[in-house]
Every structure is written in structure tokens, then in C-alpha cells.
Chain A
């Protein structure tokens, strides 16, 4: 029933040794609810998906579709369903998950626990905004949470602390077909980027940023705007796998600078519109299995914050600091988020969200630490699905509802048996 396991977050900087259960039948979950929190696909970067020295429940085998109403797009699924699989299975019938994060491997349960967002946050909100019911097995029994209820607000973005999510009902969004029309444009600098992100009318909008340049070119990148469409394109090529840990120099500063410059010039100056299969647009990195190994054995950190719209100055300072540090990888994304969502500990709030990967080299952790401090100063917040560096004081200041959340968790988990490494590190459920 319990398997001794060693596992890591997606960034591979932190690891856990502990016991995992992996139930294959729904009825087995109730007995596990007091043993430990649920884990999904473990695509959180830091320590949100780790229980070092404790027990956790891998929900990957409970991944069935339970009901679907083609009249209104309501899909009830088990929590282990991967969002990319739902997209694949339902796009052809004209439906997509209303919100999809950057990886299709993320599960429904994980999507709720992190209240993930996607390239359409400015128009559609976050994952939790499209969940109409959550079923949980908690240490104090089976519960059903509906939007607006305290248990729902504590569960959406709640880091798995309210019990094991077993099922959820998602309101899918209608789509025209299973391909994307994507318009790509070069953007010369940060100010233009922010203006265009603010003005974008597209359903899906995302910016790739070259985080290695400063001065006049600071914030240059490519703006992608997408809409679903129908038609015929060749099926996506089969994924490749990274077979070994890459050496440290693979993502060294000169390599990244050269790559980024070429990537920027790939799009013609006049821009272009291309047609892609949906997976290619939503989950570009999923084609390369285990791409986290490209960062080598030491792993990597991802920093992601959201800053209020009137703090472009802080965003500029951050990007300048990042570029001059020479640690950034090609993975840097800028997006405009719409109004915030319900969820006491939910990340998405209105503003600009910046996400940058840093190989775990000397200086990376202090850099992220400084960026966290700058985020707090600017009145923004960091994304707990990515974090492994912030301090308890910082996060508590960024998430003013944390105490309400903590009490709601204690209401269903009075023994605090669901605590994960991130919750421990940030003292989010410590005795107050």
C-alpha cells in the first residue's frame, strides 16, 4: 500500500523522501485522507508537491471521465485527469478546459490546488473560476464544496491543505476546433510590450521575453495572440525525451544570449500568422519529455510574480536586474492578468505577471530572493507553485487572507496531517 519513494519538484532543486500511496479505486481514498495530502503530476517547481519524511497520496491512477453534458459543457472528472488529455479528447467535440496552464500534464486536482492560470487569464480568469463543484475526502470525512463557500475558497489555490480532491465538475469552454491561429509579432521593448498586452483583444495572449538584454532593448520579445479554429493540420510530431542530465554549460549565458537573439529574429519584422495544433500552442514544452533535465543535475528555479498595472517601473527594475545577472534561461514569459479570482491563497490578481527560469547556479537563489523582496515592495505577489525561496514573512504579507485560509484548513484537518514542505517552510499553518 505504501511505497518508499524519493521524488522532486519539477525544478529538481528540492527532493523528498517519503512514502507514497497510489489508489486505483475511488473507494480507497477515504481511508487515506488522514495519512497525507494528495499529489497530482508533481509539476510544481519548488516544494509545494513534497512531503519530506511523511506520507502523500499520488492521484494519478484516478483519472476517469465521469459525466459530460454536451448542452452546457459541464464535465465531471476524477482529480487525476491530465488537463492536456481532456483538451485532446474534447477539442474535437468543440470543447476545451476553460483554463489551461503551460503544461498539459498538470492534473485537475493540481489545477485546483494551485488555481492555475493560462494565456487567457485577462479574459477568462483562473482555473477555479470554471469549477462548479469539488468533492473532497478530508480527515473529517467526505465533503462537497461549491463556489463561494469557505471550503471552496480555501481549496482553490489552497495547496492541497483541505483534503484530497477526488472529483471536480468543470465548465468547459466552447472552441471552434482543435487548432490555433497564432499571430506572432516582434516587440522592441518593455513599454511597447506592456501597452500591447493591455490592449490585446485576443482570447489567448502571451509574451516571450528575451531576459538577457538590457538598455534600449530591455523587455524585447515576441507577442503571441491566438484563437481556436477548425481545419486540417498535420498531427503533432511525437514527443522527444531528454535522455540524460545536460552538462552545466548547456544553458550558460553566451549560449542563452545567442539562442534568444535567434529566437527573436525567427519572427519576421512584419510579424506573421501561423496555424498550430492546440498542444503546440498551449503546451509547447510538453513535446520534450523531462525537459527539466536540460538544466542539469542541479536543477533550476523559476521566479514568477504578478505586479499591479501601475508598477511598470518595478517590472522594469526587475528585468534589468535579471538581464544584468546573466543567469536567465530562454524561458521567460510576460503576461497581463485580469481581475483576481476567489480563493484565499489564490495567486492570480490584476497586473503583469513575469516568469523566468534560472539554472540553479551560484547567485540564482540570492537573485530570486531579491526579486521576491522587490515584488513585495511593489505590492505584488509570487506564485507558490513556483516558489522554494520566499520567507514566511514575505508570503504572509503578499497573501493577506492567509489566516482565514489557515483556519479553514484546520476546520477540516484539525490534526494538521496534510502539511506539505512549502506550508511548513512558510509557516502557513503554524500555531498562531
Chain B
């Protein structure tokens, strides 16, 4: 298990757990970040990332990427 921020570009990963504040976690869930789902990093600048989740692209900040645990 590791944070999404450490994942290599272009590799699909499975979400294990999402941390952080409840409100943000809900928002991420609504956007399709649910445990068991697949994410793929499309690009990364200074820790901020664009990830592909459930066929949509979502940009997330470094701190959020640190709280999404994948395997």
C-alpha cells in the first residue's frame, strides 16, 4: 500500500483507502474515487496530479494525492 503521489505515470492502480477530511473524502467519492476502483496517473507537476478515474480526468493537489492509498 502506498500513497497515490508515489505512483508512476501511466500505471493503473487499485484504490485501497481514502483519508483526509470527511467533506473532501465525500467529494472524491462522488467523483468516482472509491476503494476497489482503478486510478491511473496521466501527468504530474510538482506533486499535483491529473489522474484518470472511472474514465474521467480529475486534477488533485499534492496533499490529496498523499491521502489516497493505492496498491
A binds B: no
Instruction: List the interface of chain B (C-beta within 8 A of A).
Output: none
Instruction: List the interface of chain A (C-beta within 8 A of B).
Output: none
